[in-house]
Amino acid sequence: MVFFRALSALSTLRSRSRSAQQSSLGTSVRWLQMETSSDLDLHGQLKEMIPEQQERLKKLKAEHGKVQLGNFTTDMVLGGMRGMIGLLWETSLLDPDEGIRFRGLSIPECQKVLPAAKPGGEPLPEGLLWLLLTGKVPNKSQVDALSAELRDRAQVPEKLYKFIDGLDVTAHPMTQLSAGVMYLQVQSEFQKAYSEGIHKSKYWETTYEDSLNLIARLPALAAYIYRRLYKEGQFIPMHDSLDYGGNFAHMLGFDNPKMQELMRLYLTIHSDHEGGNVSAHTAHLVGSALSDPYLSFAAALNGLAGPLHGLANQEVLLWIKSVVDECGENVSTEQLKEYIWKTLKSGKVVPGYGHGVLRQTDPRYTCQREFALKHLPDDPLFQLVSKLYEVVPPILTELGKVKNPWPNVDAHSGVLLNHFGLTEARYYTVLFGVSRSIGICSQLIWDRALGLPLERPKSVTMEWLENYCRKAATS
C-alpha cells in the first residue's frame, strides 16, 4: 500500500513537473525533456544540449547579425547605460513591470513547480540551479541528486578557516567572503586546464566543475564567517542529509524549520536578476577575459558589497532600526513621513526603494511579504515595513526625479531574518552573495559553452560627445 502510494506520488510529481516543462516551452525554454537513465546527471544533460544551443547562436548571428535593436542616446551613455541592450544573458530576463522570470518562469510559477523540501513548501534552490542551467523544471529525484552532489563537493580545505581567522574581525563580512573565495581560487580546475593548454571547446567542462564546487563550498565559508564574528567561533559542521538551503541555515546555527524554509526562499529569489546588474555584469565581464569562476565571482561580490546594490539589505534594517530608535515601535504615519524627509534632505537614499529597471513593486518583495503574512504577521518590524510600503512611494514620487518609487527585494529581507534570530545586519549581504553564485555561475558555464567573446564596449570622452552632438545638430 505504502509502495503504491509512493508510486502514485512520484507519478503525480513527474507529470506536474512535465507539464511545467511544457508550459514554459512557449517562452524561453525550448528543450524537450529526456526520459533516459541520464535523467539525474546534470552534466550529461548539459553536454547533450550545448551543441544545439551553439548552433542556435550561430544561426542567430548569421541570419540576424545586422538587425538594429535600438538607438543609443547621449543620456544613455551618461546615465549608466540604462536601457541599452548590450549583453547576452540566458538564465533570466527582467520585465520592468512584471519582474524577473527565471528561464521563462515567474517567481510565483517557480514556487508552484519547483520541488520543495516538504509539500507546499518553498522551492529548493538547487531546483532553481537545475532550471537555470538546463531550462527544464527538475523533478524531486533530480533535485535530490543535485543536493547530494553539492554535499559531496562541499569540503573546503582546513587552511581556508585559518586564512579567514587571519583577517581582522573588523573587516566587513563581504570583504571576508570575497577574500575567502579568492583563497579557494587555487582549486580552480579551469585555470589548471587552461595552463595545460586545453582546447576552447572544452572550457565549459572545467567551468562547470569550478562552478559547482564554488556553489557547494560557499555555505561553509559563509557560515564560518558568521560563527567567527558573532558566535564565538563555534563552527557547526554540515549536516549529512539536508538540502542546500536547509544545510546553510543549520551551519549558521538555525534549525527552526521556518528559518530553513525562509533560507530556501531567500536563496532562490536572490540568485539571478538578468545580466546588467552590477554583480552579474561584473562576473560576466571578468569571465569574458577567461578568468576562472572564482576570480569572476569574487569580483562580482565586490560589486554586490556596494550600498546601491547588495549592501542595501544591510542598510534597510539599520535604517528601520534607526526609525524605531528615534520614534519608537508604534511610530505614527506623520512621524514616519518626517523621518523619510529627514533622510532625503540629508542627501541620502531611502534604502530598499527604487530600481534601475523595475517600475513596479518587485515580486521578490511581494513573495517575502507573503511569507511574513503567513509566518510572522504580528512582528512589529514587519508591521513597520508594511507601513513604509504605504508611506514611502508617494514621497519618492513627490521628489519628482525617482523613476521607481516602489520597494525592491532588499526592503523586506532583513525583517524576516531578524525575526528568526539572524539579527546581525552587517552580515545580510553575505546571504545575497551565496545566492547570487547560483545565477552567476550558471551563466558563466553557458558563456564558455557558447564561446562568448571578450567584452569590450566603446567609451568616449566629453569632448568627443560635444563634437559629435554639435555635428549631429548641424547635419
Ligand X SMILES: CC(C)(COP(=O)(O)OP(=O)(O)OC[C@H]1O[C@@H](n2cnc3c(N)ncnc32)[C@H](O)[C@@H]1OP(=O)(O)O)[C@@H](O)C(=O)NCCC(=O)NCCS
Catalytic residue IDs: 309, 355, 410
End-to-end alpha carbon distance in the chain: 82
In the complex, the smallest distance separating the C-beta of residue 331 from ligand X, rounded to whole angstroms, is 19
Calpha distance 10→404 (Å, rounded): 44
Task: Name beta bridge partners: 94.
Answer: 100
Strands (E) across 220-312 are located at: none
- C-alpha cell of 174? 563581504
In the complex, the smallest distance separating the C-beta of residue 200 from ligand X, rounded to whole angstroms, is 35
Q: Is the CB of 61 or the CB of 82 nearer to ligand X?
A: 82
From the list 6, 82, 47, 96, the residue with the least C-alpha distance to 360 is: 96
In the complex, the smallest distance separating the C-beta of residue 439 from ligand X, rounded to whole angstroms, is 14
For residue 20, what are the contacts with CB-CB under 8 A and spacing of at least 6?
105, 109, 112, 113, 137
* CB neighbours of residue 39 within 10 Å: 16
Q: Is the CB of 245 or the CB of 356 nearer to ligand X?
A: 356
Q: At 418, phi and psi to the nearest 5?
A: -60, -40
Q: What share of the chain is helix, strand, coil (3-state, %, to 5)?
A: 65, 5, 35
Calpha distance 270→437 (Å, rounded): 10
Task: Name beta bridge partners: 95.
Answer: 99
In the complex, the smallest distance separating the C-beta of residue 356 from ligand X, rounded to whole angstroms, is 4
Apex 59 CA angle, 56 and 62, nearest 5? 150
Calpha distance 277→353 (Å, rounded): 16
Q: Is the CB of 352 or the CB of 414 nearer to ligand X?
A: 352
In the complex, the smallest distance separating the C-beta of residue 340 from ligand X, rounded to whole angstroms, is 9
Contact 100, 106 (CB under 8 A): yes
In the complex, the smallest distance separating the C-beta of residue 468 from ligand X, rounded to whole angstroms, is 24
Q: Is the CB of 51 or the CB of 79 nearer to ligand X?
A: 79
In the complex, the smallest distance separating the C-beta of residue 84 from ligand X, rounded to whole angstroms, is 13
Contact 428, 314 (CB under 8 A): yes
From the list 313, 402, 302, 289, the residue with the least C-alpha distance to 354 is: 402
Q: Is the CB of 120 or the CB of 347 nearer to ligand X?
A: 347
Place of cell 566587513: 172
Q: Which 8-state DSSP code applies to residue 1?
A: -
* CB neighbours of residue 335 within 10 Å: 14
Contacts to ligand X by CB under 6 A: 308, 312, 344, 349-356, 396, 401-404, 408-410
Which residue type, as a one-letter code, is found at position 105? L
In the complex, the smallest distance separating the C-beta of residue 141 from ligand X, rounded to whole angstroms, is 35
If you count them, how many residues does the chain have? 475
Q: Is the CB of 358 or the CB of 422 nearer to ligand X?
A: 358
Q: Is the CB of 207 or the CB of 408 nearer to ligand X?
A: 408
Q: Is the CB of 96 or the CB of 380 nearer to ligand X?
A: 96
Strands (E) across 45-203 are located at: 92-95, 99-102, 105-106
Q: Which value, in Å, is the radius of gyration of the alpha carbons in the chain?
A: 23
